[in-house]
Chains A and B, each alone.
Chain A
Amino acid sequence: QSVLTQPPSVSAAPGQKVTISCSGSSSNIGNNYVSWYQQLPGTAPKLLIYDNNKRPSGIPDRFSGSKSGTSATLGITGLQTGDEADYYCGTWDSSLSAAVFGGGTKLTVL
């Protein structure tokens, strides 16, 4: 059981937009920055979004992040087949003094 809650799967057609939600509490998302990671099959995770909505260099602006209260959202526009991957949200939990992840969301581009 993950501290952060994500939907197990989402799907959309190529070229469309998809959003992935991440729900937490005041001890984690509510008072700390959220980051998002993409894990392509058989590879290590890759940082997509940090500090709720910032993109590292090299990450296309098709990827965006937002946060409101105790929830965060990852948005991906102009879906490509290469975006098929598992996506994880993460943050610090001040009560646990631990980093926490969501359970992950598998994106299928139909």
Chain B
Amino acid sequence: EVQLVESGGGLVQPGGSLRLSCAASGFTFSSYAMSWVRQAPGKGLEWVSAISGSGGSTYYADSVKGRFTISRDNSKNTLYLQMNSLRAEDTAVYYCAKGVKLVIPFDIWGQGTMVTVSS
């Protein structure tokens, strides 16, 4: 079964850091671009970042550029998102998503992990 399982969310103070993980199974992980997409409470979807299958190319939304770093370990079938200098507006459910051929479209989504930035 093709599956993505996120972990690492939680409550963090403004200015703090958090590292999200996404464990993939059921497909050849290294063959596909992967993304993080977030959804603030009651709001729409916002793409955050993407990484190519090899990890050689990365892309970021302007809202997180310079603060977040996407990476992957293809030997562990795991995607990561290192989030630094967190702000209240980063509060959201964070989904990892698998690309079909390029970054988008996203054919498989995880269940999401909640990140709350608050003092």
Cβ-defined contact, A101 with B109, below 8 A: no
Q: Does A45 sit at the interface, judged by CB under 8 A?
A: yes
Task: Please indicate the chain A residues that have their CB under 8 angstroms from the CB of B47 in the complex.
Answer: 90, 98-101
Task: Pick from B102, B105, B111: contact of A44, CB below 8 A.
Answer: B111
Could you tell me the distance between the alpha carbons of A101 and B45 in the complex, rounded to whole angstroms?
Answer: 7
Instruction: Determine the chain A residues whose CB is within 8 A of the CB of B109 once the complex forms.
Output: 44-46
- Which residues of A line the B interface, CB within 8 A? 2, 33, 35, 37, 39, 44-47, 50-51, 56, 86, 88, 90-92, 96-104
User: Which residue of chain A has its CB nearest to the CB of B6?
Assistant: A44
Task: Report Cα–Cα, A18/B76, bound state, in Å.
Answer: 44
Is the C-beta of B56 less than 8 angstroms from some C-beta in chain A?
A: no
Q: Is the interface of A mostly helix, strand, loop or mixed?
A: strand
Q: A98-B59, A98-B61, A101-B47 are in contact. Are A35 and B106 (CB under 8 A)?
A: yes
Determine whether the beta carbon of B104 is less than 8 Å from that of A91: yes
Give Cα A103 to B42, complex, Å.
11
Residues of B close to A99: CB separation below 8 A: 35, 37, 47, 50, 59, 103-104
Give the residues in chain B near A35, CB-CB below 8 Å: 104-106
Q: Contact: A101 with B44, CB < 8 Å? A: yes
Which residue of chain A has the shortest Cβ distance to B100 in the bound complex?
Answer: A50
A-B contact pairs, 15 of them (CB 8 A): A35-B104, A37-B106, A39-B45, A44-B110, A44-B111, A45-B109, A86-B44, A90-B45, A90-B47, A98-B47, A98-B59, A99-B50, A99-B104, A101-B46, A102-B44
Report the bound CA distance from A37 to B107 in whole Å: 9
